[in-house]
């Protein structure tokens, strides 16, 4: 799918148009092979470069070619699994040519939709460098937003686990931790791209956009720090609740062992009376109250055993 937008310098209004014009923005979402081939021929962009953002495993990078500059960064997206929202990262490609700027992504993204809906102030398609910085800033801001959501989810799961530890809840913590691993890797890669943008002349730098670039770098570093903190918290939480579950299991095993000992005592006592020995040698064997006396004796022995086990914290 291809959408084309252009900001008219006379009015400052950004509108969606039908054909690609000079100083326009072409947003390509999961483009077909035909669409990629058409753009490649018309703007002299390598097909492999245009396909790179469609590969989820593609690394973030910045490359300067003769006719265009390619910027690949990782962006966060929501993935629906088992009726729950989880987070992963996918590449977003930005191609800057002399006439047009292209964005290519495998899925629709909240980052670009903000530009399409006119929610980003001072956005105009003919200021390509500022547009790139704004995309990167919104990307870092979206990472921060999703990190706060992940933190809230982990707190909710923590409350549930404190009441009743279940494997399913631990699996949810693991999924959140996996999301943070993706975020950490992607944010580090994006940081390398930004550093390269600063050190090279791959894209034109304007004095009026320097503050915006600084904000982008600060937001990205803040996202990295928050990801690191939340990752450590989640790891500690997972370790804690795993230990709690193991401890609960040990307590149950100790209780079962203690119950087995107590239950076996009456069986052991009655077994003596079932042996083929002289009745005279067995206590209470000749008494008409033998059964009751033996039962009471067994009960007393069991109570003594329970007392000893409780005293040793085994019951």
Per DSSP, the residues of 129-169 read: HHHHHHHHHHHHHHHHHHHHHHHHHHHHHHHHHHH---HHH
Q: Is the pLDDT of residue 298 over 90?
A: no
User: What is the pLDDT confidence band of residue 282, given thresholds at 50, 70 and 90?
Assistant: low
pLDDT at 190: 94
Q: What is the SS3 string spanning 198-236?
A: HHCCCCCCCHHHHHHHHHHHHHHHHHHHHHHHHHHHHHH
Question: How many CB atoms are located within 10 Å of the residue 264 CB?
Answer: 13
Q: Which band of pLDDT confidence, cut at 50, 70 and 90, is reported for residue 248?
A: confident
Residue 231 has pLDDT above 80, yes or no: yes
Is residue 315 pLDDT above 80, yes or no?
Answer: no
* Lookup: tokens for 306: 């329970």
**Has residue 276 got a pLDDT over 60?**
no
Q: If you average pLDDT over residues 43-50, what whole number do you get? A: 94
Confidence of residue 152 (pLDDT cuts 50, 70, 90): very high
* Nearest CA-CA partner of 88 in 109, 103, 72: 109
**Phi, psi (deg, nearest 5) at residue 84:** -135, 150
The pLDDT value recorded for residue 140 is 95
The superfamily (CATH) of domain 2-247 is CorA soluble domain-like (3.30.460.20)
248-311 CATH fold: Methane Monooxygenase Hydroxylase; Chain G, domain 1 (1.20.58)
Q: How confident is the model over 140-159, as a mean pLDDT? A: 91
| pLDDT (0 to 100) of residue 7 | 92
Yes or no: say if 44 and 80 are a contact pair by the CB < 8 Å rule. no
pLDDT, residue 49, reads: 94
Q: How many CA atoms lie within 13 A of 204 on its CB side?
A: 12
In the chain, what percentage of residues exceed pLDDT 70? 94
Report whether pLDDT(166) > 90: no
236 CB contacts (<8 Å, ≥6 apart)? none
Computed over every residue of the chain, the mean pLDDT equals 87
Predicted local confidence at residue 274, as pLDDT: 65
Q: Look at residue 283 and give its three-state secondary structure.
A: coil
Residue extents of the structural domains in the chain? 2-247, 248-311
DSSP 8-state secondary structure symbol assigned to residue 67: S
Q: How far apart are CA 94 and CA 114, in angstroms?
A: 16
Is residue 86 within a helix (H) or strand (E), and if so which, with residue range? strand 84-97
Residue 113: pLDDT over 90: yes
């Amino acid at each position: 799918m291809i959408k084309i937008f252009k900001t008219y310098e006379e009015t400052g209004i950004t509108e969606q148009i039908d054909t690609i014009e000079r100083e326009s923005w072409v947003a390509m979402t999961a483009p077909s092979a035909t669409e990629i081939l058409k753009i490649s021929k018309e703007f002299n962009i390598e097909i492999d470069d245009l396909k790179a953002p469609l590969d989820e495993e593609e690394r973030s990078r910045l490359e300067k070619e003769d006719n265009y500059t390619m910027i690949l960064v990782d962006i966060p997206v929501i993935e629906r699994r088992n009726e729950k929202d989880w987070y992963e990262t996918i590449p977003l490609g930005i191609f800057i040519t002399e006439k047009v700027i292209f964005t290519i992504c495998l899925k629709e993204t909240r980052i670009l939709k903000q530009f399409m809906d006119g929610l980003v102030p001072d956005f105009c398609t003919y200021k390509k460098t500022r547009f790139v910085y704004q995309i990167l800033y919104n990307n870092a801001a979206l990472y921060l937003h999703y990190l706060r959501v992940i933190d809230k989810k982990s707190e909710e799961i923590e409350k549930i686990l404190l009441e009743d530890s279940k494997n399913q809840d631990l699996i949810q913590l693991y999924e959140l931790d996996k999301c943070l691993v993706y975020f950490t890797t992607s944010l580090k890669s994006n940081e390398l791209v930004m550093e390269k943008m600063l050190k090279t002349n791959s894209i034109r730098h304007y004095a009026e956009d320097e503050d915006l670039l600084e904000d982008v770098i600060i937001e990205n570093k803040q996202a990295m720090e928050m990801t690191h903190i939340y990752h450590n918290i989640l790891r500690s939480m997972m370790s804690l609740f795993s230990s709690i579950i193991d401890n609960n299991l040990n307590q149950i095993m100790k209780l079962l062992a203690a119950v087995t000992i107590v239950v076996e005592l009456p069986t052991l006592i009655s077994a003596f009376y079932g042996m083929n020995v002289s009745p005279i040698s067995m206590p209470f064997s000749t008494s008409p109250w033998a059964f009751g006396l033996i039962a009471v004796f067994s009960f007393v022995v069991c109570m003594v055993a329970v007392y000893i086990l409780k005293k040793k914290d085994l019951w």
